Amino acid sequence: MKKMLFVFLFIGLFAGCKEKDAIEVIPNYDEIYLPLNKVDSTPQLIEGDEKGLSEKLYAEMKKSASKENFVIDFNLMIDETGRVKKVEVVKSPDEKITSFAVKDFANWLFKPAIKDGKEVKAQYRWYFNLSGDSKSKLDLIGGDFLPEADEMPMPVGGMYAIQSKIVYPEIAKRAGIEGKVIVKAYIDEEGNVIGTEILKGIGTGLNEAAVSAIEKSKFTPGIKDGKPVKVQVVIPILFKLS
């Protein structure tokens, strides 16, 4: 079966206030909740406000001590009726944020996954990343980063040097997720990466894996009029399972 990328579209309906069964939070999933590459039709959210939850979490983030690198990543276990029964916490700043999100998930309803014509238990990945951290760092550093230069920065050792530093997240492997992450990197006059920005992401830890590999890499500095300058470059990182 052809592998599919799982893209979360924030188009959910507003959830009601009706009491739901409690959702169990688990460290790892043990039961047969099928990953994306094992079903014919993935779960589809039909009742639940993903955008609203993101806005609420953004508000909670501003109160939190974990403002830096604020990322939450949950793997929802959807049963045959389309309800969230379990949650695997892949990444969360603290228990308060986890509890806040899980209460919202209790109101969500999905069109169940389908395999061989039958409704089955399956996974649904929900990921939220607060964008703008890299811009804040750049504001603190100051200075303009040129979009072009006579000689653009290049990774020392070529793209292989970046690719060799990538660690493919295990959760993405299990879900069969592939694709391209496009990162804008800000390179200073010495060839150091001092900031990054995701232009196109996939989620499931692949964005972070791409950024981490780029930030660990050294670049030749950009050159303009014979002098090293600060330059911004766009770097595509391809994730593909063998």
How much is the pLDDT for 27?
A: 52
Query: Looking at the structure, do residues 121 and 157 belong to the same domain, yes or no?
Result: no
CATH number at residue 49: 3.30.2420
pLDDT value, residue 12: 29
| pLDDT for residue 148 | 86
pLDDT value of residue 69: 52
User: Is the domain of 38 the same as that of 119?
Assistant: yes
In a domain, 16, yes or no: no
Does residue 71 lie within any of the structural domains? yes
* Co-location of 160 and 213 in the same domain: yes
Lowest mean pLDDT among 1-15, 19-33, 47-61: 1-15
Is residue 1 a part of any domain in this protein?
Answer: no
DSSP letters for 107-151: T-EEEPEEETTEEE-EEEEEEEE-TTHHHHHHHHH----BS--SB
pLDDT at 67 over 90: no
Task: Mark whether 117 and 95 lie in a shared domain.
Answer: yes
pTM strictly above 0.75: no
The answer to whether the beta carbons of residues 108 and 47 sit under 8 Å apart is yes
Asked if residue 156 and residue 77 are part of one domain, the reply reads no
> Structural domain of residue 107, as residue ranges?
24-129
Between 209 and 64, whose confidence is greater?
209
| Same-domain pairing of 100 and 173 | no
Same-domain check for residues 139 and 101: no
Evaluate whether residue 3 is within a structural domain: no
Which of 95, 113, 129 terminates a domain? The answer is: 129
Instruction: Give how many domains the chain has, as a whole number.
Output: 2
Encoding tokens for residue 230?
Answer: 């600060």
Q: Return the structure tokens found at 98.
A: 């986890």
